[in-house]
Amino acid sequence: MPNDQTFFDFFNHILMIKDIHIVPVLLIFLSGCATLNIQEIINLESKDFDTLQLCPAVEPNGLRIDLLRKNHDVYYIDSLVYAELMPYHPLGFDLGNGIFYDLSGNLSFKIDYLLNFSSDSSFQIEKSGKKTARTIFLFYHDSLSVNRPPKTKIRQQYHRVIHGDSVLYSVKKGRDFTVVTTETDLFYMGKKRIWNGIHGVGQGRYELYRKATKGGFSLNEHEVILSRDLMIRMNPDKKKLQIFRYRRKGPKLLLTIERSEDKIFVYDKHNAGQKIALIGNTLEISNGKKMLNRVELIEKATY
C-alpha cells in the first residue's frame, strides 16, 4: 500500500487539476433531493408532450440541466479515491421535448429549448446557484466565452468554423475537434482519425461508429431505446414521460416527467426530484424545499 506521503502528494495533484469540461456544468443531483409537493403535481394543468424522436445532434455548449448523470470511479493503485462525473459529450441524440442523450450516457434538458432560443444565434445566459457564483455564457460571432463576475477575465471556450458539412471547434489546450455530417452518419473526429460517431442503419435505427455495443438506438411510436442503457416511454395520453434503466430481470423505472405551460416536474418513486419553473426569460430549478439554480436569458448581449 502507498504511504501517507504518497497519498498526500496524489491529493495535492488532484487539487491542482483544472476543470476538463468544455464549459461549467448546470448540475442537478436527484439523489438526496427533498420531496416535491405531490399535490402541486396532482393539480398540474398538464400539457401534452410532443412526439418522441431520435435525431443525431450536436450540443457543444454544455448548457444543460441534468436528468441522469453518469460517473466513473477513479482509483489510485488499489484504492478507490472518488467518483468523477463523466464529461458531457458534444454528440448525441435529440429525443424531443428538449431532452438530449449524449454519447457518454448523460441525459439532460437543453437550456436553449426550455428558454426558446437558438444556440446557433448570438445569446447571453446568466447562471447562478445557492452555492455557486454568477456565471455568464456569451455566444457571439461563432465563439462561446465564459466569465465569472466580479472577475473580469473572459475565457473563450471554443471558436467554430463551418465548412459545408464539417464544423471545426477550436478548443483550448489543443483539444480541437471536428463534427462531420453525412447523409447517414455523424462523426466526431480529431485531425487524423475518427474518435466516435453515430451511424444510421435503417429507419429510426442507429449504431455507434466502430464500437461494439450491446444494442443500438431505436425509435418506435411510444418508446426510445438507448443502447440497452435507458428506455424512454411516453404514456398513451401523452401526459407523462417515463425513464427506465435496462436490467436483465426487466426495466426499472427511474424518473417520471410531467409538465404544464410554465413548469416541469421530474421525480422518482419517492416523489423526490426537481421542479423547473419558467418565469419570463428565467428558469428557476428547485428541489421542493429550496432553489438550486437560476438560469436567465439576456436578450441583448452586453459585451
pLDDT value for 32: 45
Q: What is the pLDDT along the chain (303 residues), one digit of tens a residue?
A: 444 444 334 334 433 333 333 343 444 444 445 789 999 999 999 999 999 999 999 999 999 999 999 887 666 666 656 667 889 999 999 999 999 999 999 999 999 999 999 999 999 999 998 777 799 999 999 999 999 998 888 999 999 999 999 999 999 777 899 999 999 999 999 988 999 999 999 888 999 986 655 579 999 888 999 998 999 999 999 999 999 998 878 899 999 999 999 999 999 999 999 999 999 999 999 998 889 999 999 975 554
Output the CA angle 260-264-267, nearest 5 degrees: 130
pLDDT value for 213: 59
pLDDT value for 206: 95
pLDDT value for 203: 87
Which one-letter amino acid corresponds to residue 4? Answer: D
Say which residues have a Cβ less than 8 Å from residue 299's Cβ, sequence separation at least 6: 281
pLDDT value for 33: 54
Domain range list for the chain:
4-298
Contact between 285 and 291 (Cβ < 8 Å): yes
| pTM: predicted TM-score of the whole model, two decimal places | 0.85
Residue 228: which of 211, 247, 242, 209 has the closest Cα? 247
